């Protein structure tokens, strides 16, 4: 297989090339156009990179690097979150924007992919400084975003309050209300019920379908969740409610496993982490190092933190029987090949964590129509989209005898290619 670089964008391009090689025979009569489209999809349509300066509370000035990558909009407006993290890079943002293109295509929602980021540790900023930085970001991207252009949302270390500041700044610039320009907003200004838990909820719908396909009841399966932020905590909590045994949970400092392999009480674990700063020391558990956590004997491993945690070295030694990728890009392409050879199935991020962007799409639809759906309506609309996407991926997996990631990518890529062909791009 083609070797990748160490950055996530190299991984994303490699995955695109792998999927296009599988799909190429379907476009034999349009070979030249297909090849041109694949070449174009390797580069985002637009990348915005600027430095912004904000005033700190003590009167000094700090500069921050900001990004927005818009990958492809053949199927609809660009869509993607904004992350505030000290390790954000241009390559990461470009990769995430490409993955968003596939994620939206897999579930069938009418969006393309984008992603944004700011190189900052938001915990070092006061609330006032965070607001000034959020508004500065909105001013940079204002010419390129909007309800029918590009719809940002929260991501790592951002939330509804930050979206509220950004939306307010954007609306000041354009001179009118446009709530559909940003999603993941507070309910008071057009947010959607169910958005907070949507990514985790969508992941559990996928996990339930996976259990059916391998002929297991939820109670038969032990689950380990790495990462206990918004996505991981909701996934773990909802998986327990669905009957799965979440026996191990980890944060950035390490992990814990239930001594008797019973489900961990996720609400109590989250309270423990709030008070102690870590999941370690939680009652009825034994401590695990971060490395040992990835290598423990469980049925389902669920990476829910940052990318590239499942490396070739980890993949060779993993004892989990399957992976559900709730983080973006947690498995490298080289590790993918090893997992496939070892018959360890990995449900890809572009499907497993697509519940968040799907409910963001529902928020956008509600904003455009000036209407509010109940949480029950939101989840009733989410489940069939996730189930249908899983079914399509699984059918391709069985028909073509390829891994689940490539099965999902092939379906997503076909939708994007067809849209570009119809548009004459």
Three-class SS of 21-68: HHHHHHHHHHHHHHHHHHHHHCCCCEEEEEEEEEECCCCCEEEEEEEE
Beta-carbon contacts of 381 under 8 Å, excluding residues fewer than 6 positions away, are 362, 373
One DSSP character per residue, 137-150 reads: HHHHHGGG-BTTTE
**DSSP-H helix ranges across 283-374:** 290-295, 312-317, 333-341, 349-352, 355-369
Nearest to 298 by CA among 250, 352, 336, 234: 250
Three-class SS of 241-291: HCCCEEEEEEECCEEEEECCCCCCCHHHHHHHHHHHCCCCCCCCEEEECHH
Catalytic pick among 115, 201, 273, 280: 115
Q: Give one word for 182, left, alpha or beta, with left for phi > 0 and alpha for psi -120 to 50.
A: beta
Report the DSSP pairing between strands 322-324 and 345-347: parallel
Rounded to whole angstroms, the Cα distance separating 110 from 107 reads 9
Helix (H), strand (E) at residue 408:
helix 404-423
9 token code pair? 């964008």
Q: Give strand pairing partners of 84.
A: 118
Q: Is 112 helix (H, G, I), strand (E, B) or coil?
A: strand
Rounded to whole angstroms, the Cα distance separating 399 from 134 reads 47
Answer positive or negative: Cα dihedral of 164, 77, 7, 139.
negative
CB 75 within 8 A of CB 111: yes
- C-alpha radius of gyration, the chain, whole number: 21
Mark whether 115 is an active-site residue. yes
Q: Is 376 helix (H, G, I), strand (E, B) or coil?
A: helix
Q: Give one word for 331, left, alpha or beta, with left for phi > 0 and alpha for psi -120 to 50.
A: beta
User: Active-site residue numbers?
Assistant: 115
């Amino acid at each position: 297989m083609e070797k990748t670089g160490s950055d996530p964008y190299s991984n994303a391009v490699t995955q695109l090339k792998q999927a296009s090689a599988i799909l190429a025979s379907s476009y034999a009569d349009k070979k030249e156009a297909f090849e041109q489209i694949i070449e174009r999809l390797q580069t985002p349509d637009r990348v915005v990179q600027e430095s912004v300066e904000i005033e700190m509370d003590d009167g000094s000035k700090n500069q921050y690097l900001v990004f927005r990558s818009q990958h492809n909009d053949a199927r609809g407006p660009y869509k993607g979150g904004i992350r505030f993290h000290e390790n954000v890079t241009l390559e990461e943002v470009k990769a995430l924007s490409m993955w968003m293109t596939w994620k939206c295509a897999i579930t069938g929602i009418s969006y393309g992919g984008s992603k944004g980021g700011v190189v900052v540790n938001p915990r070092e900023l006061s609330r006032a400084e965070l607001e000034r930085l959020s508004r500065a970001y909105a001013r940079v991207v204002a010419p390129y975003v909007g309800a029918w252009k590009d719809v940002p949302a929260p991501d790592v270390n951002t939330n509804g309050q930050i979206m509220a500041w950004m939306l307010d700044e954007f609306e000041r610039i354009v001179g009118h209300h446009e709530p559909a320009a940003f999603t993941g907003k507070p309910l008071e200004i057009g947010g959607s019920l169910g958005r907070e838990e949507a990514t985790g909820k969508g992941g559990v719908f996928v996990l339930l379908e996976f259990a059916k396909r391998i002929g297991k009841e939820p109670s038969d399966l032990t689950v380990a969740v790495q990462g206990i932020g918004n996505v991981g905590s909701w996934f773990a909590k909802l998986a327990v409610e669905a009957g799965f045994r979440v026996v191990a949970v980890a944060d950035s400092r390490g992990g814990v496993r239930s001594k008797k392999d019973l489900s961990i009480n996720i609400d109590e674990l989250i309270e423990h982490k709030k008070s102690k700063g870590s999941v370690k020391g939680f009652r009825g558990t034994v401590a695990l190092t971060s490395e040992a956590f990835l290598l423990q004997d469980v049925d389902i491993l669920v990476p829910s933190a940052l990318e590239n945690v499942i490396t070739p070295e980890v993949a060779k030694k993993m004892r989990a029987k399957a992976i559900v990728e709730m983080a973006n890009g947690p498995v490298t392409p080289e590790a993918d090949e090893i997992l496939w050879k070892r018959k360890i199935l990995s449900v890809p991020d572009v499907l497993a964590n697509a519940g968040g962007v799907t409910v963001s799409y529902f928020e956008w639809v509600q904003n455009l129509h000036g209407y509010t759906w109940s949480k029950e309506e939101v989840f009733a609309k989410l489940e069939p989209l996730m189930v249908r996407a899983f079914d399509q991926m699984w059918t391709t997996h069985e028909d073509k005898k390829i891994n689940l990631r490539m099965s999902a990518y092939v379906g997503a890529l076909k939708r994007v290619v067809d849209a570009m062909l119809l548009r004459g791009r």
